[in-house]
Structures are given as structure tokens and as C-alpha cells.
Amino acid sequence: MPAWLRLLRPHQWIKNSFVFVGILFGHGWNNAQQLKLALLAFAAFCLTSSAVYVLNDIADREEDRQHPKKCRRPIASGAISPQLAYAIAAACWLGGALLAVQCGKNLVLLLLGYMLLQVAYSHGLKHIVILDVFLIASGFMLRILAGTLGIGIPPSQWLLLCGLLLTLFLGFAKRRAELMLLEDGGGKHRRVLEHYSEELLDQMISVTAAGVLVAYCLYTVSPDTIALHGTDKLVYTIPFVLYGMFRYLYLLHERGGGGDPAQEVVGDWHIIASGMAWLATTLVLLRG
């Protein structure tokens, strides 16, 4: 993969699939206009998030050189100059803004909020323990809102709750993986790791993982959910969620994974299979 494409981190675009959750649970798949808007919102977030990754790589290039894996990133390794990287980031940001304008004011505001959040995160808030993970989760919540409010679908409270807990779980798992990978030298790469411990992160991961599972289970059997979707069979999707969560925990604790959630999702066939099975079963039940 050429250096400029690696700089955009296309494998991270899977995170922007949170935009499509509103279409799935809002029964928008039969609405051609909403599908078009969702695709535009997805593309806008892909370009905007890539612009953020580029700016972060420019700002973190010295710290990345201390990391055993991130030192190979295009800017940290010297394959791309900071000046060229700024130009690439500007092009991505402009492309994302033009796509967002086609979806309306709500998406433009959400995308602007995402950019401001990421700038604040990169320029100091990422060094504040616990708040750093909540800010990561906030970026995902804005993606969910982009796929609901941004395209005219009212967001479900259950959807927002499950999304928040899931992204907090992934954020704390990411911090634990970074802590284990860098061990005593973690603070040189990411200062906030000095304030975390393995025991603290394990407790937070346990709490958020349990919260995800309980919230999703309650969602599937909620009377409001059954009335909205016209089925009480969503409970049969729970095993796929359980397996995917447990597999992720296994990779985190036994395989040294979890440092890059996007790579874990696309790189482990167990998680891919459970995710596809969940999606297929959910679609069949919601359409049936």
C-alpha cells in the first residue's frame, strides 16, 4: 500500500459503519433517499476521520517513533513530510465537508462537532485519565447521531445506551493493550498511560462489557422494541453478541490484541463470523 494511502488508515473506516446502525434499526433500508444520505454520511466521516488521523500523526510523530509498531507510520518513518501531510489532510477535510453539505445542516454540525472534539482531544484532553476514553467514545456517538439525526431518523435511547457502553469498552481495552505492549515505557509514548494500571483497566473493562451485554439483552426483550420492530425474536441474536464480546476479551488477555479495535474486527475470522451472523439474523428478523 502506498505511503499516502497508509497515512489515511483506510482499515479504520470500518469504525464509520456506526453510521449505518440508524438505517438498520430505524427500518430505513427500504427508503432510497435515506440510504443515499447514509452512504454520503459514511463517506463524509471516512474523509474527515482520515484528516484527523493525518493531523494526529503529524502532532504525534516524535512519540510514535518511541512505539514498536507506530514508528512505521508514514510520517514517523519519514516516508511522507509534514508539509505534504498537511495538504492531504486539507483535501480530505474539504471533501468530507462537501459531502456533508449534501445531507443537510444537521450532518454538517455533527461533522464540525467531531472535528472540534478531535482537535481538543489531540491538543491536551487526551492526557486526562478516564476523560480520554470518554472522548474516544464521544466520537463514535457522533457517528451514530450522524446516521440518525443527520439523515432524519430519530435516535433510539437504547441505541445510544448500547453504543456508549460498547465504545467505552473498546476504549478501555485499547488502553490496556497499549499499557501491556509498552510496559514500563508507556509514558514516553502516551503520557496518560502513567495514570492507568492493569488492575484499574480490567475493572473498567469488566463493568463496561457487562453493561453492553445487559443493555443489549434488555433491549431485545423490551416491549417498546417488540412494538417498534413487530417481533420478539431479536433475543435470538444475543448469542452472537456474547461470542463476539468474549472472543474480543480472549484476544485482549491471551493474544496481546485490542490495541487497534478496527484491526481486531477485520483480522479475526471468529469476530467476523459472529458479526456477519448477527447482522444476517437481525436483518431477517426485522424484515420478517
Contact 56, 48 (CB under 8 A): no
Contact 29, 151 (CB under 8 A): no
CA gap 23, 31 in Å, rounded: 9
pLDDT beyond 90 at 152: no
CA gap 9, 7 in Å, rounded: 5
CATH of 1-155, one of 3.60.20.10, 1.10.10.60, 1.10.357.140, 2.40.37.20: 1.10.357.140
pLDDT tens sequence across 3-53: 888 889 998 899 899 999 989 888 888 889 999 999 999 999 999 999 999
Residue 77 confidence (pLDDT)? 85
Contact 23, 287 (CB under 8 A): no
CA gap 136, 115 in Å, rounded: 12
Mean pLDDT of 60-82: 83
Residue 95 cell numbers, joined: 471533501
pLDDT tens sequence across 139-150: 999 999 999 999
CA gap 238, 64 in Å, rounded: 39
Number of C-beta neighbours around residue 255 at 10 A: 10
pLDDT beyond 60 at 185: no
Please report, for the chain, the start and end positions of each structural domain, with discontinuous segments joined by +: 1-155, 156-288
Residue 66 confidence (pLDDT)? 77
Residue 72 confidence (pLDDT)? 82
Q: Which parts of the chain fold into alpha helices (H)? A: 3-8, 21-25, 32-59, 61-64, 82-103, 105-122, 131-146, 157-182, 186-189, 198-221, 223-229, 238-254, 261-267, 269-287
pLDDT beyond 90 at 205: yes
Q: Distances in Å between the alpha carbon of 78 and those of 85, 114, 122, 211?
A: 11, 28, 21, 43
107 closest CA partner among 137, 152, 139: 152
Residue 243 confidence (pLDDT)? 96
Calculate what percentage of the chain has a pLDDT beyond 90: 59
What is the Rg, in whole angstroms, of the alpha carbon atoms belonging to the chain? 19
Buried b (16+ CB within 10 A) or exposed e, 52-82: bbbbbbbebbeebbbbeebeebbbbeeebee
pLDDT beyond 70 at 187: no
DSSP 8-state assignment for residue 192: G
pLDDT beyond 90 at 1: no
pLDDT tens sequence across 238-284: 999 999 999 999 999 988 777 777 777 778 899 999 999 999 999 99
23 closest CA partner among 146, 172, 113: 146
